[in-house]
Amino acid sequence: MTPDALNPPTPVPQAIATPLTRAAIFLVVTVHPGEPASAAVRSICADLPALLRSVGFRDQEGHLSCIIGFGSEAWDRLFGDPRPAELHPFHEFHAENRHAIATPGDVLFHIRADRMDLCFELATVMMTTLGDAVAVADEVQGFQYFDNRDLLGFVDGTENPEGQAAVDAVLIGDEDPAFAGGSYVILQKYLHDMAGWNALPTEMQERIIGRTKFANADLDPALKPSSAHNALTIIIENGMEIKIVRYNMPFGNPGQGEFGTYFIGYSKSPRTIELMLENMFVGRPPGNYDRLLDFSRPVTGNLFFVPAASLLDSLAVVPKAVLEDAPKTPASADAPTLSPEHDGALMIGSLKGNPQ
């Protein structure tokens, strides 16, 4: 064993704990059956930095980034063992007519920049690279709306932690050392009943959200109901509030009467966001649900694991377990091969960021 394996470098995370941008594309795809399709997706793990450079050089002040994440079933198909400790299918929550649904999705590409054209170009290049290996399950273009407000008129993301607090909130550490530097992300696409919402007096809207609409101040505790959105989404453990990082964006098609918010939350454990969703949809206590759901409904729901950037190169290597499970076919010039340095397994040293 090399000294590097005994003392692996600190994992380098993907660009999660970074400031909000003016534009984003949320691209969720499913991977077609078969090893060729899986190989194409694994390859983009190693190609991602080059693709970012090829587009981002056009405006180096555009803050172009792309976060890639994988669903539970896709992880098993693409990479096998080991797997992230808390990766599982999206948990649905259902109470009365409120339903946090689960929808198909193997891979997430969360593309962000200060210019939509950069996001659009990178999405185009990536989909061209993947070709017929994947099918689009959902694609949403988000935009900044005035001073970071959602289409309901309230400032979104006010409670996001910043700096080291954001890093601590989203990045896995010693609790899952093989996947340190990674994160979990839950996303839901919400559609709003704007006619119903706009018919409410501003004071009632503020009681539902838990903040003032124009000044963006926390509502007076004497006026804030326990069912307020920002009350139900506070998670306390051992006397400490557990934070997440949200990168929500508005989206819509006015000509089709579609107005919505794309919720996307990062956390070092999916359990935090799942508790928030349970409080919203079921209630805390049960029945004391988030009244915002009377005007907003989710039409998608996914959970993904976001590996550390220093792990992505290793994920491009075909795991031995995946090869052994694949149907046996005659060798061809197009078949993926392993380099002599690798035995086909995910090397724990490389999981911690060793150069390949």
Per-residue pLDDT of 75-132, as tens digits, reads 999 999 999 999 999 999 999 999 999 999 999 999 999 999 999 999 999 999 999 9
CA dist list (Å): 320 to 72, 183, 237, 299: 19, 25, 40, 37
- What is the SS3 assignment for 291? helix
For the cut 60, the answer to whether the pLDDT of residue 6 exceeds it is: no
pLDDT of 346 = 45
Overall average pLDDT of the 249-274 stretch: 97
For the cut 50, the answer to whether the pLDDT of residue 211 exceeds it is: yes
Overall average pLDDT of the 173-197 stretch: 97
Q: Among the options 106, 138, 150, 156, which is catalytic?
A: 156
- Residues near 23 by Cβ (< 8 Å), separated by ≥ 6? 112, 113, 114, 115, 116, 118, 119, 141, 142, 143, 144
pLDDT of 60 = 86
For the cut 80, the answer to whether the pLDDT of residue 352 exceeds it is: no
**Does 156 participate in catalysis according to the annotation?**
yes
Give the Cα separation of 87 and 84 in Å (integer).
6
- Which residue in the block uniquely carries the two structure tokens 């983009």? 44
> Which of 99, 59, 96 is closest to 277 using CA atoms?
99
The DSSP result for 16-54, as a single string, is -SS---SEEEEEEEEEPSSHHHHHHHHHHHHHHHHHHHH
Overall average pLDDT of the 252-279 stretch: 97
For the cut 80, the answer to whether the pLDDT of residue 349 exceeds it is: no
- Choose the weakest-confidence range: 11-15, 244-248, 350-354: 350-354
Structure tokens at 80: 């096998």
Q: How many CB atoms lie within 10 A of CB 269?
A: 19
- Please, where are the H alpha helices in 247-315? 270-281, 309-315
Q: How many CB atoms lie within 10 A of CB 263?
A: 22
pLDDT of 142 = 98
- Choose the weakest-confidence range: 125-129, 165-169, 196-200, 332-336: 332-336
Per-residue pLDDT tens digits for 36-56: 999 999 999 999 999 999 999
pLDDT of 331 = 43
Q: How many CB atoms lie within 10 A of CB 306?
A: 26
pLDDT of 344 = 38
The alpha carbon of residue 76 and the mean position of all alpha carbons in its chain are separated, in whole angstroms, by: 18
**Run of H or E including 108:** strand 107-113
pLDDT of 325 = 57
Structure tokens at 22: 């003016």
Phi and psi at 302, nearest 5°, equal -145, 150
Overall average pLDDT of the 209-214 stretch: 96
* Confidence at 316, pLDDT banded by 50, 70, 90: confident
Q: What is the mean pLDDT of the chain?
A: 89
Overall average pLDDT of the 326-342 stretch: 44
pLDDT of 110 = 98
For the cut 50, the answer to whether the pLDDT of residue 340 exceeds it is: no
For the cut 80, the answer to whether the pLDDT of residue 21 exceeds it is: yes
Helices vs. strands in the chain: H and E counts, helices first: 12, 14
- Which residue in the block uniquely carries the two structure tokens 């394996």? 5
Structure tokens at 219: 């509502």
Give the Cα separation of 136 and 5 in Å (integer).
39
Torsion of the alpha carbons at 149, 123, 296 and 272, rounded to the nearest 10: -90
pLDDT of 314 = 87
- Please, where are the H alpha helices in the chain? 3-6, 35-56, 72-78, 116-130, 164-170, 194-198, 202-209, 229-232, 270-281, 309-315, 320-325, 348-351
- Which residue in the block uniquely carries the two structure tokens 């029945």? 287
Give the Cα separation of 312 and 52 in Å (integer).
14
pLDDT of 125 = 96
Structure tokens at 163: 């700096």
Overall average pLDDT of the 269-281 stretch: 98
> Which of 156, 187, 152, 154 is closest to 295 using CA atoms?
152
Compare 258 and 321 and report the one with higher pLDDT: 258
Give the Cα separation of 234 and 276 in Å (integer).
7
- The sign of the CA dihedral 274, 309, 79, 248 is positive
pLDDT of 1 = 38
pLDDT of 10 = 83
